[in-house]
Amino acid sequence: MFKGMLLFIGFIGIAACQPSFAAVNEWKIDPAHSDARFSVKHMMVSNVSGDFGKITGNATYDGVHLNKAKVEATIPVADINTREPKRDEHLKSPEFFDAEKYPNMTFKSTKIEKLPGNEFKMAGDLTIHGITKKVVLTGEGPTKPIKDPQGHMRMGASASTKINRKDFGINYNKTLDNGGVMVGDDVRITLDIELIPAS
User: Cβ distance 196 to 30 under 8 Å?
Assistant: yes
Q: Does domain 23-197 have CATH number 2.40.128.110?
A: yes
User: Cβ distance 102 to 78 under 8 Å?
Assistant: no
User: Cβ distance 112 to 142 under 8 Å?
Assistant: no
**189, β-bridge pairs:** 38, 161
CA distance 82 to 52: 9
User: Cβ distance 157 to 122 under 8 Å?
Assistant: no
Q: What is the largest CA-CA distance in the chain?
A: 91
Other Cβ atoms closer than 10 A to 59: 21
Residue 42 is classified by DSSP as E
Q: What average pLDDT score do residues 181-186 get?
A: 75
Q: Where are the domains of the chain?
A: 23-197
Listed in order, strand segments (DSSP E) in 43-172 are 46-52, 56-60, 70-76, 104-114, 119-128, 131-140, 146-147, 153-164
Q: Give this prediction's pTM.
A: 0.83
- Contacts for 69 with CB less than 8 Å, ≥ 6 apart: 59, 60, 61, 62, 109, 112
In terms of pLDDT, which residue wins out, 110 or 186? 110
Residue 189: what pLDDT?
95
Rounding to the nearest 10 degrees, give the CA dihedral for residues 172, 169, 164, 87. 40
Residue 15 is classified by DSSP as H
Chain segment 119-170, per-residue pLDDT in tens:
999 999 999 999 999 999 999 999 999 998 988 899 999 999 999 999 999 8
CA angle 152, 154, 156 (to 5 degrees): 170
Residue 24: what pLDDT?
75
